[in-house]
Amino acid sequence: MNTKLLGSSLIIAGTALGAGMLAIPMVLAQFGLLSGSLLMLFIWSGTTYAALLLLEASIKVGGGLGMNTIARKTLGKGGQLITNGLLYALLVCLLMAYIIGAGDLLQKLVTGFGLELSMLHSQIIFTVLAGCIVAAGTGVVDKLNRVLFIIMIAVLIITLAALIPGMSFNHFFEATNTNNVDLIKTSAVLFTSFGFFPVIPSLVSYNKKATHKQLRNMVLLGSLIPLGCYLLWLYAVVGSLSAEQLIKFDNVSVLIDALSSRFVGIHIILSIFTGLALLTSFLGVAMSLFDQNIDLFRKNRLVTYILTFILPLLGAIFAANQFLSVLSYAGLILVFIAVFIPMLMIRNIRKSAQTTSDNVYQVAGGAGAMLMSLFFGCFLIGAQLI
C-alpha cells in the first residue's frame, strides 16, 4: 500500500475516531469486557461490510466526488433526492457538533494564554481556518491528517503506558449489569463511533489509479485502526477504574477527572487527544460535504466553501440548544444512509448487470451477506427505539 492509500486509510480512521472513544468505557464497562467486546466486534463487522458495499457502488458507477452522482445513477431521481436529504441532515448536524466542541476548546486554549475570546469568535475562527484546509483539496487534508493522526496515536500510546502499571485485572471480570436489552441499547453509541462512510466516495476519486483490491484494503485498514484503538482504550480504562465507578459517570469530563486524580498529567494528555480526534473527524466530515456540494452544484471552490460551512456555522451559533435535542436522532439517519441506501444501490447495480469488464469488484458474501446486512440495519433501528 502506497503512502497515498495509507493516508486515505488514516482519513477513514480519523473520521471515525472522535469523542465517542472516551464515552465507550462508560457505556460498556457495566456489562463486562467479554460482552462489550463481542458487541463492538459485531457492530464493526456490520458497519465495515456496509462501507464495502458503498465502495463497490462508487467503483461500478465510475465514482463522482459525492454520493449525489452515485445515488442518481443507481437509485434514480427519487432515490437521489432522499439520499441527499438524509446525507445533508447528518453531515450538517455532525459539523455543528464539531464546531460547538472546537469553539469551546479553542476558547479554553486561548484563555490559558491570558487572552480573551468569545465563543462566537472562537467558532467563526475555527470554521474559517479549518474550512480553508478542506477547500484546499483532499491532498491537503490527507497530508495534514497524517501528521495529526500520528500525534494522536502517540498521545494514546503515552496514555496507555501511564495507565497500565496501575491496572487491576480483577476489574476485567466485573459485570454489574447482565441485562441484554440494556447492552443492546449501547449499539447506537458504538455504531456512531464507526461512522466513517461519508468519506469513501471522495477517497475513491482521490485514488483513481488504485486497484480495486487496494481500495478494499484501504477501507479495511481504515476501519481496523479505530477498532483496535477502541478495544485498547476500553481495556485500559476498565482495568484502571471499577465498573461501579464508571457507571456513576454522566459525561466524559468526569471520566477524565477521575483518571487525572490517579495519574498525573492524564488530564492534559486526554484533552490533547480529544482536540485532535475532534479535528480529524471534522476534516473528514467536512471534506465529504464539500465534495458532495461540488458534485451537486458544480460551482467554483469559493462558492462551494460558503455553501458547505455557512449552515453548520449558523446552526452552531444560533441553534445550539435546539440542535442538542435533535442530535439524538442522528443515529437513525446514519442507519439509513450508511446501511440501507448502500444495500439498495448494490441491489440495483447487480440486477441491472450493466457494468463494464473493468468494473468487476464485488463484495464477498453474495445474497446471504446482503440479508445479514439488512438484519444488521433492523437491529440498529430496534436498538435505538427500545
The DSSP code sequence of 42-95 is: HHHHHHHHHHHHHHHHHHHTT--SSHHHHHHHHHHHHHHHHHHHHHHHHHHHHH
Categorize the per-residue pLDDT at 19 as very low, low, confident or very high, splitting at 50, 70 and 90. low
Gyration radius (Cα) of the chain, Å: 21
Categorize the per-residue pLDDT at 104 as very low, low, confident or very high, splitting at 50, 70 and 90. confident
The CA distances from residue 252 to 24, 115, 171, 249, 304, in Å, are 10, 26, 20, 8, 35
Amino acid at position 233, single letter:
W
pLDDT recorded at residue 5: 93
Q: How many CA atoms lie within 13 A of 368 on its CB side?
A: 2
Mean pLDDT of 66-74: 87
Mean pLDDT of 157-175: 78
Categorize the per-residue pLDDT at 356 as very low, low, confident or very high, splitting at 50, 70 and 90. very low
Q: Write out the three cell numbers for 187.
A: 449499539
pLDDT recorded at residue 233: 86
- Angle value at C-alpha 109, between 107 and 110, nearest 5 degrees: 65
pLDDT recorded at residue 357: 47
pLDDT recorded at residue 317: 87
Q: CA-CA distance, 294 to 104, in Å (whole number)?
A: 30
Q: pLDDT at residue 42 above 50?
A: yes
Q: Identify the CATH class of 3-385.
A: mainly alpha
Dihedral sign, Cα of residue 46, residue 66, residue 147, residue 308: negative
Q: CA-CA distance, 284 to 304, in Å (whole number)?
A: 16
Q: pLDDT at residue 339 above 90?
A: yes
* Number of CB atoms found within 10 A of residue 264's CB: 9
What confidence tens digit (pLDDT) does each residue in 272-329 have?
888 888 899 999 999 999 989 988 888 888 899 999 999 999 988 887 766 655 666 7
Categorize the per-residue pLDDT at 245 as very low, low, confident or very high, splitting at 50, 70 and 90. confident
Categorize the per-residue pLDDT at 251 as very low, low, confident or very high, splitting at 50, 70 and 90. low
What confidence tens digit (pLDDT) does each residue in 361-380 have?
889 888 899 999 999 999 99
pTM over 0.75: yes
212 torsion bin: left (phi>0), alpha (psi -120 to 50), beta (else): alpha
Kindly tell me the burial class for residue 34, based on how many C-beta atoms sit within 10 Å of its own C-beta (0-12, 13-18, 19 or more): exposed
* Average pLDDT of the chain to the nearest whole number: 85
Mean pLDDT of 20-28: 78
Q: Write out the three cell numbers for 86.
A: 438524509
- Angle value at C-alpha 225, between 174 and 165, nearest 5 degrees: 45
Instruction: Find the helix or strand (DSSP H, E) in which 298 lies.
Output: none
* Number of CB atoms found within 10 A of residue 113's CB: 7
Q: pLDDT at residue 359 above 70?
A: no
Mean pLDDT of 114-137: 90
Q: pLDDT at residue 207 above 60?
A: yes
* Number of CB atoms found within 10 A of residue 322's CB: 10
Mean pLDDT of 71-80: 91
What are the structural domain ranges in the chain?
3-385
Categorize the per-residue pLDDT at 227 as very low, low, confident or very high, splitting at 50, 70 and 90. very high
pLDDT recorded at residue 253: 66
* Number of CB atoms found within 10 A of residue 179's CB: 10
Contact 342/363 with Cβ under 8 angstroms?
A: no
Instruction: Find the helix or strand (DSSP H, E) in which 29 lies.
Output: none
